Amino acid sequence: MVTPLKSFSHSYPVLGGAYYLAGRAASDAKRRLGEQQAPAGFARRVAIATYEAEMNICIHAISGEVVIVMEGERVEVVANDRGPGIADIALAMTSGYSTASDKARAMGFGAGLGFANMQRCADRFHIRSRIGAGTNVKMTFLPRPEDEEGGAPCS
Amino acid sequence: MRVSDIAAVLGAEMLAGRSGLIRDVPSAGGCDIISDLLFFGKPGMLLLTGLTQLSVVRTAHLLDLSGIVFVRGKRPDEGAIELAESLGLPLLVSPLSLYDCCGRLYARGLPGVIPGAPHLPAECA
């Protein structure tokens, strides 16, 4: 990262089932990072993982929020939802496993790659869940050498 | 291959993002699953799809794709067109099927995106 990021913190509400609105946090993060000349690969990793987190709340939960914090050279994204929770986190992390509704799938979501994608885009990934209460995902993004090239998003 | 060349090859109508017509397209992919796109999409890739909702435009922007071709004459709603216009993202509509669109572009040398994902069987990579 060439220059430190301007300190920023914001919470974006996400509503279950509101597919039309999901993605606002990701778009805003990408725009802010772009304006500050953050490397394209870095902005893309943050945007992709944030969008996946928003979509998860939209698909599975009643409601929730995505909080984005930018400070120094790092970005933190926290997603909290009020929803059914995840019974078996290891199973949910498996690529291809999904409990998404037919509606979500008809819209092109719910292929069971969300957590895998968040994990590979983020530099730290932490998930906690309580059945009947909700799920909490915390991701930290730090600069990677390959971000500068703007090449592969998060390979 | 530029977006304008692709429009000609696919007999496509331009709906938005005229400013991106001269954009160079390094690769393309046909996909109706946004989750897959978020996982496999590469910067600059052209997306060919039958999905027309706003989230497709948003996804293309987040992934730095070079444009979207809607196949089988399917048209996105006004909200999607407005968002693409504001982002300078080219949107094309082709009367051809997804298979035909991909075939025509591939035959003219536009490569696909190599997945290379660890969970795919080797023969798919």
| ipTM entry | 0.84
The per-residue pLDDT for A19 is 86
Pairing of strands B67-70, B91-93: parallel
Q: Identify whether B114 is part of a domain.
A: no
CA distance A141 to chain B (A): 16
Start-to-end C-alpha separation, chain A? 19
The per-residue pLDDT for A21 is 85
Answer yes or no: are the C-beta atoms of B2 and B105 closer than 8 Å. Answer: no
Q: What is the pTM of this model?
A: 0.88
Residue A3 banded pLDDT, cuts 50, 70, 90: confident
Each domain of chain A, given as residue ranges in start order, spans 7-148
CATH number at residue B9: 3.40.1390.20
The per-residue pLDDT for A152 is 46
Q: Which residue does chain A place closest to B34, by CA atoms? A: A108
**Pairwise CB contact (< 8 Å): B35 & A108:** yes
Q: Identify whether B121 is part of a domain.
A: no
CA distance A48 to chain B (A): 7
Q: Identify whether B120 is part of a domain.
A: no
Answer yes or no: are the C-beta atoms of A154 and A120 closer than 8 Å. Answer: yes
Note the pLDDT tens digit of each residue in B12-56: 999 999 998 889 999 999 999 998 999 989 999 999 999 999 999
Residue A8 banded pLDDT, cuts 50, 70, 90: very high
Could you tell me which of A78, A76, A75, A74 has the C-alpha nearest to residue A64? A78
Q: Identify whether B116 is part of a domain.
A: no
Give CA–CA dist A119/B40, Å, rounded: 14
**CATH 3.40.50.1100, domain A7-148, yes or no:** no
Identify which of B33, B61, B62 has the shortest CB distance to residue A111. Answer: B33
**Pairwise CB contact (< 8 Å): B35 & A107:** no
**Pairwise CB contact (< 8 Å): A30 & B62:** yes
Amino acid at A100: A
Q: Identify whether B7 is part of a domain.
A: yes
Q: Is A81 left (phi over 0), alpha (psi -120 to 50) or beta?
A: beta
- For chain B, the farthest-separated pair of C-alpha atoms sits apart, in whole angstroms, at 41
Give CA–CA dist A88/A93, Å, rounded: 9
Identify which of B33, B39, B119 has the shortest CB distance to residue A108. Answer: B33
The per-residue pLDDT for A106 is 84
Could you tell me which of A64, A52, A70 has the C-alpha nearest to residue A10? A70
More confident residue, A90 or A1: A90
Answer yes or no: are the C-beta atoms of A40 and A150 closer than 8 Å. Answer: yes
Residue that is written with structure tokens 């730095």 in the block: B64
Q: Identify whether B115 is part of a domain.
A: no
| DSSP string covering B88-113 | T--EEE-SS-HHHHHHHHHHTT----
Give CA–CA dist A144/A1, Å, rounded: 9
Query: Is the CB of A15 inside 8 Å of chain B's CB atoms?
Result: no
Range of the domain at B71: 3-107
Q: Identify whether B29 is part of a domain.
A: yes
Chain A interface disruption, residue of B38, B51, B82, most A CBs within 10 A: B38
